[in-house]
Structure 1
Amino acid sequence: MNPPAASAGPEQDLRPEQVISDVLADLPRHRGVVVDSPPGAGKSTLVVRAAAHIAATGEPLMIVAQTNEQVDDLVTRISGKHPHLSVGRLSAGGYVPPPRMLELPGVRFGTRIQDLGDPDIVIATADKWAWIGDRVWPWAIVDEAYQMRSDKLLRIAGSFERALFVGDPGQLDPFSIVDGDRWSGLSWDPLQSAVSVLLRHNPDLPVHRLPVSWRLPASAAPVVSRAFYPFTGFRAGTSDGDRRLELATGGMGTVHDRALEEAARSGWALLELPNRHTVRTDGEAVQAVALLAARLLQRGAVASSEQGERPVTADRIAVGAAHRDQVAAIRAAGLPAEITVDTANRLQGREYDVTIVLHPLSGRRDATAFHLESGRLCVLTSRHRHACVVVARAGIAELLDAHPSAEPVQLGVPVKFPDGWEANQSVLDHLSRHRV
């Protein structure tokens, strides 16, 4: 991710509606428009509004997402907001539509363009679009564009004339199981994000930034903005006191209860375990994470916000970790199936009332590039509307000091911002004030 142009700053002072209006006005004038969106800033709302705006012109539109879950979510949102629009859901042969989607008005499903008739909007994953090469669309919207590898954009670039690219520049880079060192420094590096390569070759394309997070509360937006978006900060859409998290039953004075009470009071808590080097599936840390989630349900947490008052049910709680074996160990601890337990990669783009996070550096002897990647910690600490509880062993500050940021510098590779080492230090400094 490249640091933004100096002219981007004033957009923070614009209203979100003004940014959306500017984006829609720029669409006909440029072959591409980029919109950077911090966590919960209304990216999906922008995509839905832009889709309806383009459909109203009478020209067909293709929408590209990165996963089937993202495609299904967009189909549901567009159909719910604009039921008069016809939407085609293009998929692979083995796809089975969720029951909730079968009831949506104006939505058709198919494995070929011909199966869909002539809908206003066709939505599919980037992988599926790569196999549709017999038509050129006047318009495209690429959702979660920073998660998209540039080689996937190259495969579909000939399928559209103009495109809107929307995504979050502060989160995880595109995922690949292939070692990309052989391409490092090349302008067409296939493992870079689609937006990075697009802007590198088209520096004159307009870049807009949504300035407000409607997900993160006032207690979290400044922390996440300072740590992960140092050049393109954002603010919370709510103020202190607009949201409350209350525990209906009293605690028993355990460390887990005190951590939940601190999180309910301040929006953050760090449950710190004794300093020790452990295996990745640290049994004590796994048990602490599971107990926190179970205790949160037992104490009958109630979330109050601008959306009203509602209980924090199991489906509104997420547990995040860095590795799949950690996720499996936490799930095996006996949590209710409705609680989401997943890696940062799979939690990206999702939203919950309360999140419980196993810190990527907890119990480690070293701080590798994987564990220091700023996007990983950004995703884990930016999924919540009310509170985030982090579980970690003591000693992370010393670990960071012993492993200063010293990744090899490769010629031609844009410098990434923010630096993962500095982002981790910033978050840890804040969490230290909420240590239990």
Structure 2
Amino acid sequence: MNAEQVLSPAAEAGLVVEAVLGDLREGDHRGVVVDSPPGAGKSTLVVRAAGELAAAGEPLMIVAQTNEQVDDLIARLGARSPEVAVGRLSAVDYEASERVRDHPQCRVGAKVAELGTPAVTIGTAAKWATVSEGSWPWAIVDEAYQMRSDALLRVAPRFVRALFVGDPGQLDPFSTVDVERWTGLSWDPMQSAVAVLLRHNPGLPVHRLPVSWRLPHTAAPVVAEAFYPFTGFRSGTGPGDRHLVFDRPAADRLDDVLDAAAATGWGLHELPARFTIRTDAEAAAACAELATRALARDGVTASESGGGPLTADRIAIGAAHRDQAATIRALLPPEVKGVTVDTANRLQGREYDLTIVLHPLSGRQDATAFHLESGRLCVLTSRHRHACVVVAREGIAELLDAHPSTEPVHLNVPVKFPDGWEANQAILAHLHKGVSLRRQ
């Protein structure tokens, strides 16, 4: 009998969190790394660690990757530790969001000197790169796998020890300029901050959060097998803990797909095989219509944390490209404009009750590295608490078989797992299995 069978999800996750905090309190390592699957409580851990370090009288800096992440962490810090003073580093023209203004002890400033002496100083990696004075005994780097290694080098002089928290299965850092000149170097700036950190400091402790509190029991095994083949994780919920039902009966094929997703957690709406332009009008329209039908049928959710009507703000449509997202957004009728439509890059870290995904390889003639990127599909298929519907044209499996990876193999470059080809095949196999069972 293994520990997973003995311990509840909460108990298992609690042991890992305590081990992380123990390393922070008593360890002598320069850094601690925490790997996390989707929805495993990364932000909760960051906020708790920040609160405990601040309570111990150790000022710290927090490095996030986007302004949205910074504001979210400030709101969470205000809710958990309202007595802890927070300084929000920002651009000169930054206007504090409502979440920041609601924090009882948050001061906003463009320079460290303008913030006073807060227990926690927080800003984006880009903003911290402009800070040339001051040091902190501790730093927490949130979403560290989204951070380029050169960005870490810019801020490293500002702290002594650091906690790095992130999701290794999601999108790698990217650049719009040619980066081949650095390929194979141990400090390649296009590697994530954590990858370079561990290559130069292999002895640092690495912890792995074992439970996803976002993904339902129908999704966690599928996502873990496809994108986390060597670490795995499990869902914090089991059969019967969550429900999505539609009060209005099905009227067409799209409704049948929604019903399948509500019952099994996954749905596949396949369009006839065809090579299309990137902004495939038929596929975009299907995504928009699925969201429209989900709202028109008066969906209702129930879960361990409560439930209620399925509203527009709890539905997201994800795509690989901004022009695809713009096309889908334009096709949404006015009554469903509250539905989030965005790219995988911008959906990272967010969660919804129902997600609709335009498959990155749908309608394509080739399978490029961009569209095979496992992190992109991982983000798109791991945002949901109840169900995920994938919209795709037939023929993706055949496309993958006909276009194996042709990317050059470089010396001294660590092999990246999971492989995008295998991850795509794993997700497709599960979706087609669900379709086959429905037809029986």
Q: TM-score range by the shorter chain?
A: over 0.9
TM superposition shift of 1:406: 3.5
- Looking at structure 1, the residues matched to 300 and 110 of structure 2 have their Cα atoms a distance apart, in angstroms, of 43
Q: Helix, strand or coil for the counterpart of 2:308?
A: strand
The answer for unaligned runs of 5 or more in structure 1 is 1-10
Residues 106-145 of structure 1 aligned to structure 2 (within 5 Å):
106-145=105-144
- Looking at structure 2, the residues matched to 162 and 132 of structure 1 have their Cα atoms a distance apart, in angstroms, of 18
- In structure 2, the partner of 1:344 is 344
Judge conservation of contact 1:12–1:209 (CA < 8 Å) in 2. Answer: no
- In structure 1, the partner of 2:291 is 293
Q: Give 2:400's aligned amino acid.
A: L
Judge conservation of contact 1:12–1:234 (CA < 8 Å) in 2. Answer: no
Judge conservation of contact 2:74–2:99 (CA < 8 Å) in 1. Answer: no
- Looking at structure 2, the residues matched to 197 and 337 of structure 1 have their Cα atoms a distance apart, in angstroms, of 42
Q: Give 1:420's aligned amino acid.
A: G
- Looking at structure 1, the residues matched to 317 and 281 of structure 2 have their Cα atoms a distance apart, in angstroms, of 16
- 1:333-362 per-residue CA deviation (whole Å, 9 max, x = no partner) reads 034332110000000111100000000000
- In structure 2, the partner of 1:16 is 13
Q: How many residues align?
A: 426
Q: Give 2:422's aligned amino acid.
A: E
- In structure 2, the partner of 1:425 is 425
Q: Give 2:15's aligned amino acid.
A: Q
The answer for unaligned runs of 5 or more in structure 2 is 1-6
- In structure 1, the partner of 2:152 is 153
Q: Helix, strand or coil for the counterpart of 1:375?
A: helix
- 1:356-399 per-residue CA deviation (whole Å, 9 max, x = no partner) reads 00000000001001000100000000000000000000000100
Q: Helix, strand or coil for the counterpart of 1:29?
A: coil
**325-334 or 164-173, larger mean C-alpha shift:** 325-334
Residues 32-431 of structure 1 aligned to structure 2 (within 5 Å):
32-252=31-251, 254-335=252-333, 336-431=336-431
- Looking at structure 2, the residues matched to 423 and 189 of structure 1 have their Cα atoms a distance apart, in angstroms, of 25
TM-score with structure 1 length normalisation? 0.96
- 1:188-215 per-residue CA deviation (whole Å, 9 max, x = no partner) reads 1111100000000000000000000000
- Looking at structure 2, the residues matched to 170 and 287 of structure 1 have their Cα atoms a distance apart, in angstroms, of 30
Q: Helix, strand or coil for the counterpart of 2:18?
A: helix
Judge conservation of contact 2:292–2:332 (CA < 8 Å) in 1. Answer: no
Judge conservation of contact 1:65–1:126 (CA < 8 Å) in 2. Answer: yes
- In structure 2, the partner of 1:3 is none
Q: Give 2:375's aligned amino acid.
A: G
Q: Give 2:302's aligned amino acid.
A: S
- In structure 2, the partner of 1:5 is none
- 1:290-330 per-residue CA deviation (whole Å, 9 max, x = no partner) reads 00001111111111000112111111100000001101100
- Looking at structure 2, the residues matched to 429 and 50 of structure 1 have their Cα atoms a distance apart, in angstroms, of 40
Q: Give 2:41's aligned amino acid.
A: G
- Looking at structure 2, the residues matched to 163 and 188 of structure 1 have their Cα atoms a distance apart, in angstroms, of 19
Judge conservation of contact 1:224–1:378 (CA < 8 Å) in 2. Answer: yes
TM superposition shift of 1:176: 1.5
- 1:246-296 per-residue CA deviation (whole Å, 9 max, x = no partner) reads 1011121x1111111111111100000001111110010000000000111
Judge conservation of contact 2:289–2:332 (CA < 8 Å) in 1. Answer: no
Structure with higher RCO (Cα < 8 A, 6+ apart) = 1
Taking only aligned residues, the RMSD between alpha carbons, in angstroms, comes to 1.5
- Looking at structure 2, the residues matched to 355 and 97 of structure 1 have their Cα atoms a distance apart, in angstroms, of 30
Q: Give 2:353's aligned amino acid.
A: D
TM superposition shift of 1:404: 1.6
Q: Helix, strand or coil for the counterpart of 2:93?
A: coil
- Looking at structure 2, the residues matched to 307 and 19 of structure 1 have their Cα atoms a distance apart, in angstroms, of 23
TM superposition shift of 1:104: 1.8
Judge conservation of contact 2:315–2:355 (CA < 8 Å) in 1. Answer: yes
- Looking at structure 2, the residues matched to 427 and 277 of structure 1 have their Cα atoms a distance apart, in angstroms, of 21
Judge conservation of contact 2:244–2:262 (CA < 8 Å) in 1. Answer: yes
TM superposition shift of 1:12: 11
In percent, how many aligned pairs have the same letter? 67
Q: Helix, strand or coil for the counterpart of 2:331?
A: coil
- Looking at structure 1, the residues matched to 58 and 209 of structure 2 have their Cα atoms a distance apart, in angstroms, of 26
- Looking at structure 2, the residues matched to 329 and 77 of structure 1 have their Cα atoms a distance apart, in angstroms, of 34
Q: Helix, strand or coil for the counterpart of 1:308?
A: coil
- 1:227-253 per-residue CA deviation (whole Å, 9 max, x = no partner) reads 00000000000001110001011121x
